[in-house]
């Protein structure tokens, strides 16, 4: 079942067709319309699946929910790679927030809470996670205060957090303005909000178009370029501290998956079979990866207060 929606940034309902998307990641059937707001330019999915009907797209095959022991003999390499993303997240936030045992951190869209586990280990901070999917049984959840459900419906406490992170959450959100308002209430005085999303005005989108991994329909409800992301956070009452034309997530993922999605043409990607060529290609592309990271290849990060 689907529903029509208004623009997440300005609330406008006048939009024009932008692209036709498929579930390139899992290969589930269906076509999903991405439109562009005629007022502010945000690209977003309309009509979109209802909350009840989007749930099957976040099942155990969803890439962010994979158990770390799934990969057989390649598990050590996969776990190291996933851990390197969490370490990159920590390096980003430590540029803007000094964390200690007295600090409190909230990760919205925490998944398995691996980032929070690392952050707690390195800084001693109290950690809280929220996710649409209940992954509380995962080992990485130990020591995390977990809330299951829509973020803006969770009572996480007003003025509580020195740091709130949204790593690839906002592009999934069904009501981003409400989520940002809720985050603003939960942020302590002097606290910081860090948001990372795929960047529509990027080189990788120009390369892959409707097969761009950042499209990821139907899970991604909006595709943010720099202008629309900054407009959204400023409308929510935040002041932008910094904008980075990259993120913690590896840009190589967009290069590999974009090429695979073009080749597969909506038939999905078998993660078990793809993992070996993924890492083989990463080794071959290693000299170029630092350049890709700094050239607005795939992502963007905004830091707010």
CA angle, residues 147, 152, 153, in degrees to nearest 5: 60
pLDDT of residue 67: 62
pLDDT of residue 300: 97
CATH code of 2-304, in short, is 3.40.50.150
Stretch 267-283: mean pLDDT, rounded? Answer: 87
| Least confident residue range of 13-17, 60-64, 115-119, 220-224 | 60-64
Stretch 200-217: mean pLDDT, rounded? Answer: 96
| Least confident residue range of 98-107, 130-139, 190-199, 234-243 | 130-139
pLDDT of residue 130: 97
Q: Is pLDDT at 60 greater than 80 in this prediction? A: no
Average pLDDT across the chain, whole number: 92
Q: Is pLDDT at 61 greater than 80 in this prediction? A: no
pLDDT of residue 177: 97
| Least confident residue range of 41-50, 96-105, 109-118, 292-301 | 292-301
- Per-residue pLDDT of 241-263, as tens digits, reads 999 999 999 999 999 999 999 99
Hey, which residues does 3 pair with through a beta bridge? Answer: 48
């Amino acid at each position: 079942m689907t529903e029509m929606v208004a623009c997440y940034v300005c609330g406008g309902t006048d939009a024009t067709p932008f692209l036709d998307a498929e579930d390139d990641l899992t290969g589930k059937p269906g076509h999903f319309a991405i439109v562009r707001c005629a007022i502010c330019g945000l690209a977003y999915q309309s009509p979109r699946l209802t909350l009840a009907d989007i749930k099957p797209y976040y099942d155990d095959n969803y890439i962010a929910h994979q158990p770390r022991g799934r990969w057989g003999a390649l598990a050590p390499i996969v776990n190291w790679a996933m851990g390197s993303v969490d370490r990159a997240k920590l390096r980003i936030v430590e540029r803007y927030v000094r964390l200690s045992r007295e600090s409190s951190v909230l990760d919205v869209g925490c998944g398995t809470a691996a980032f929070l586990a690392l952050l707690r280990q390195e800084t001693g901070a109290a950690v809280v996670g929220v996710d649409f999917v209940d992954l509380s049984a995962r080992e990485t959840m130990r020591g995390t205060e977990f809330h299951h459900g829509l973020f803006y419906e969770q009572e996480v406490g007003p003025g509580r957090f020195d740091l709130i992170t949204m790593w690839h959450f906002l592009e999934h959100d069904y009501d981003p303005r409400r989520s940002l308002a809720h985050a603003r209430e939960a942020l302590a005085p002097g606290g910081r909000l860090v948001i990372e999303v795929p960047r529509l005005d990027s080189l990788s989108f120009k390369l892959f178009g409707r097969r761009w991994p950042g499209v990821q329909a139907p899970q991604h409800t909006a595709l943010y370029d720099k202008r629309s992301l900054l407009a959204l956070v400023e409308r929510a009452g935040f002041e932008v501290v910094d904008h980075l034309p990259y993120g913690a997530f590896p840009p190589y993922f967009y290069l590999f998956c974009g090429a695979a999605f073009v080749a597969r043409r909506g038939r999905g990607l078998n993660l078990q079979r793809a993992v070996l060529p993924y890492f083989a290609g990463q080794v071959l592309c290693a000299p170029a990866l630092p350049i890709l990271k700094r050239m607005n290849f795939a992502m963007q990060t905004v830091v707010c207060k």
